[in-house]
């Protein structure tokens, strides 16, 4: 089975986010007011082939922990969706 | 009214994604097989204060176009959610 996976990697609360702070400081000079708490993260999308949804989720969770995020400072949230089946 | 906004900035289809390709090439050496079409994007989250949802969406769409993404090579998808109201 083929799944589309979306992994959102965000900095943990309390970890300083210089990119987010820079965006937040810049927005008022461009005329955008009322924006706060800007945080910048990464978005990784891919397709994964696995025997079932549980196997796909286990593999993606393992990838997140070992490769796609730094668990010390980042949280990863995974969403999986079954892709259209290839014709038999 | 206060809204939480999540902006997903992804490279348009057909635009080369060196970071994604590097991840895709590296995964098999770490024992993760069956992963294809890896694309890396940006995730920007913030809270925005606006009079209503339509005004918030218009401001965020404008921010995306002018500042958060490069519309020539990137697509931005916005999701808005009303945050808990401050007590009156």
pLDDT in tens, A40-66: 999 999 999 999 999 999 999 999 999
A51-55, A81-85, B80-84: least confident range: A81-85
pLDDT for residue A88 is more than 60: no
Can you list the domains of chain A with their CATH numbers? 2-82 (3.30.1280.10)
ipTM of the complex: 0.87
Which uninterrupted H or E stretch holds B59?
helix B53-63
Lookup: tokens for A48: 């994964």
What single DSSP character describes residue A1?
Answer: -
Q: What is the pLDDT of residue B83?
A: 86
The CA distance from B72 to the nearest CA of chain A, in Å, is 19
Residue A40 pairs in a beta bridge with: B44
Residue A71: strand, helix, or coil: coil
The CA distance from B70 to the nearest CA of chain A, in Å, is 15
d(CA B77, CA A43): 12
- What percent of chain A is predicted at pLDDT more than 70? 95
**A23-44, pLDDT tens digit by residue?**
999 999 999 999 999 999 999 9
What is the arithmetic mean of pLDDT over B46-74? 94
**B5-52, pLDDT tens digit by residue?**
999 999 999 999 999 999 999 999 999 999 999 999 999 999 999 999
The CA distance from A73 to the nearest CA of chain B, in Å, is 16
d(CA A59, CA A34): 40
**Residue among A41, A43, A48, A49 nearest A19 (CA):** A41
Across the interface, do B35 and A48 touch by the CB < 8 Å criterion? yes
Residues of B within 8 A of A47 (CB-CB) are 35-37
Across the interface, do B45 and A9 touch by the CB < 8 Å criterion? no
Length of chain B: 88
Residue B38 CB neighbours (<10 A): 22
A-B contacts at Cβ under 8 angstroms: 102
Across the interface, do A26 and B59 touch by the CB < 8 Å criterion? no
Residue B44 pairs in a beta bridge with: A40, B7
Q: How confident is residue B87, by pLDDT bands cut at 50, 70 and 90?
A: low
The partner residue sitting opposite B43, judged by closest CB among A36, A43, A59, is A43
Residues of A within 8 A of B68 (CB-CB) are 23
């Amino acid at each position: 089975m083929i799944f589309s996976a979306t992994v959102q990697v965000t900095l943990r609360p309390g970890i300083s986010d210089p990119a987010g702070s820079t965006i937040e400081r810049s927005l008022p000079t461009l005329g955008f007011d009322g924006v706060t708490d800007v945080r910048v993260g990464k978005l990784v999308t891919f397709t994964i082939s696995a025997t079932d949804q549980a196997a796909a989720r286990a593999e993606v969770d393992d990838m997140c922990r070992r490769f796609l995020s730094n668990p010390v400072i980042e949280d990863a949230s995974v969403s999986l969706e079954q892709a259209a089946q290839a014709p038999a």
